Structure 1
Amino acid sequence: MTERVIEADGIELCTESFGDPSGPPILLIMGTGASMLWWEEDFCRMLAEGGRFVIRYDHRDTGRSATYAPGRPGYTGADLVGDAARVLDAYEIPAAHVVGVSAGGALAQLLALDHAGCVLSLVLISTSCAVPGDRALPPPTEEFSRFVSAAHVDWSDAESAIEHQVAYARVLAGGRRPFDETAARGLVRRDVERAHDFTAARNHDSLAEGELSQGPLSSIAVPTLVIHGTADPMFPLPHGEALAEQIPGGRLLVLEDAGHGVERADWATIIPAILEHTAAASTG
């Protein structure tokens, strides 16, 4: 396990790998605004112990990847999709199993649409359809919407940013399970202290889309597993159900009382599901 900064098309991206490079590769894509630390190290190690070669990476403007002036990112959402392919190229991996959470799940879908040859299978966690469909989907919960609209934070003050992010993590957890504030605070603090400029992550909130695929999700041809919690406040469960319905052969794994994200309490379910899914896709 060693951090490796790759350079592609003049862009530096910080990556980290786990496991034997000869194993089936898994690329982990975190949600926008979040560094690779949110794919926790133990989670990555457990996947690697299942015989996989696991790669996580910092998006631009997070962690130790290329950082732009706040409010002036100079890149688009389409560039974030392309970054996933750039990471695979740097590791000389023609195609990988791609696991995305939240907005990272949307990036994974777009990668499968625009760079189909790079993707062996998809695992989409706590996300929604990256391409609009005909089905009406519910908005975020009232509690989530209240928090987003009422939260006050000084992003230039590290302690204010940490308090805000911990409170946000509590809301995302969904409220049906005990919330481990100590663990959340430790992770948020490491994220803030590790970043070149933590305030730059807010650039993701205002990115232009760029030239993204207009293809339908029905054109995704790789095996797809959708994992979704019943207490997700950002994307209520019908978002996951719609995603599994629109991608041919998509399977849905429902996590009872789980919120938004990859909670440690669900690792015992999620990790075996990913290993089984990627094994089947590899042999298929």
Structure 2
Amino acid sequence: MTPEPRPEIVSETFGNPADPAILLIMGAMASMLWWPKAFCRQLAERSRFVMRYDNRDTGLSTKYEPGAPPYTFEDMTDDAIRVLDDHGIRKAHVVGMSMGGMIAQNVALKHPGRVSALTVISCSPLGIDTSGLPGASEAYRKHSAEGTGLDWSNRDQVLDYMVKDARALSSTLHPFDERRTRAMIEEDYDRSGGLASAINHFLLEGSAEKRNINDLMVPLLVIHGTSDPLFPIEHGEALAAAVAGARLVRIEGGGHELNRADWPEIIEAMAIHH
């Protein structure tokens, strides 16, 4: 069997490479654009060298035939280390959101010598029993079901659904900025050449080696919205409780998103975490 060619992982940096490095890993179906440039620049202004990148099957990185990804979750874990290597970074504060939070946990456990600190946003703990934690809200499950018959080649249909998805995941405290959100999703769709390949993220096999967040050896920061409809706050609480000395920052009314109104609190927490 011929091995798959080495994929191209496209990344972008902000700030001074001499400053402490932060690697940002976004979640399922999400390119680097979901870490907004303004967010990255504000973080870089806190004397941090910020890296964001397109996961496989998103953005400008290598894409595969929808429905049959020839890679695993483990490969996505190693992609993060490749980004560090590409920029000559020996060790970084690794930050992951949603599925990116699972990747980040795996990175910190598989490559502890490359991680100075770990931040997990809007995610669940890796490797421990979460069966007793609440699942996604009924309203969000109903919304997700509406995407079953989506025609991923139909730009207008996909954009409308993705905007509805962003609204369903949004803060209950701050207004939803539909204009800005739609513009970003349009940019992501067009830059990526469509989003059909990104559904491969939901078909991935897990890591062959079972890792457990209890074994984490670096400082952990957990950031979680109190109104997250996908991973309710109990998931963030369980993650923080699993690691001695971990800090939990609750974003009041926060959904499964990076709401601009919450950026100051999120950036401050990340900037002082080491």
Determine whether 1:16 maps to 2:7: no
Q: Give how far 1:210 is off.
A: 4.0
TM-score by length of 1: 0.91
Distance (Å, rounded) in 2 between the aligned partners of 1:150 and 1:46: 36
What is the aligned partner in structure 1 of residue 155 from structure 2? 158
2:265 to 265, 269, 275: 269
Partner of 1:12: helix, strand, or coil?
Answer: coil
Distance 1:233-1:52 versus aligned 2 partners, 3 A rule: same
What's the offset of the Cα at 1:149? 1.5
Q: CA deviation at 1:135?
A: 6.7
2-side partners of 1:253 and 1:236: how far apart? 14
Aligned to 1:129, what secondary structure does the other structure show? coil
CA–CA separation in structure 1 for the residues paired with 2:87 and 2:162: 32
Mean Cα displacement is larger for which, 113-122 or 235-244? 113-122
Consecutive unaligned residues in structure 2, runs of 5 or more = none
1:169 is aligned to 166
* Counterpart contact for 2:137–2:229, Cα < 8 Å: yes
The answer on whether the counterparts of 2:30 and 2:55 sit within 8 Å (CA) in structure 1 is yes
Question: 1:93-139 deviations in whole A, cap 9, x for unaligned?
Answer: 11100111111011100111111111100111111112133672111
Identity %: 45
Q: CA RMSD in A?
A: 1.3
**How far is the alpha carbon of 1:267 from its aligned partner?**
0.4
Structure 2 CA distance for aligned equivalents of residues 135 and 119 of structure 1: 29
Residues 1:70 and 2:66 are matched in the alignment: yes
What is the alpha-carbon distance in structure 2 between the residues aligned to residue 232 and residue 199 of structure 1? 26
Q: Map Cα deviations across residues 45-81 of structure 1 (whole Å, 9 max, x no partner).
A: 0111111000000000000000111112210111111
* Partner residue of 1:188 out of 172, 176, 185: 185
| Superposition TM-score, scaled by structure 2 size | 0.95
- The secondary structure found in structure 2 opposite 1:13 is coil
Q: Which runs of 5+ in 1 are unaligned?
A: 1-8
Q: Which range moves more in the overlay, 71-80 or 148-157?
A: 148-157
Match of 2:42 among 40, 46, 59: 46
Taking the aligned partners of 1:116 and 1:107, their CA distance within structure 2 comes to: 13
Superposed CA deviations along residues 195-254 of structure 1, whole A, max 9, x for unmatched, are: 04421111111111242x423211101111100111100000000000000022111000
Partner of 1:33: 29
Q: How many residues align?
A: 269
Residue in 1 that maps onto 2:203: 206
Q: Tell me the distance in 2 between the aligned counterparts of 1:134 and 1:58.
A: 29
Query: Are the aligned partners of 1:135 and 1:242 in contact in 2 as well (CA < 8 Å)?
Result: no
- Aligned mates of 2:109, 2:74 — CA distance in 1: 12
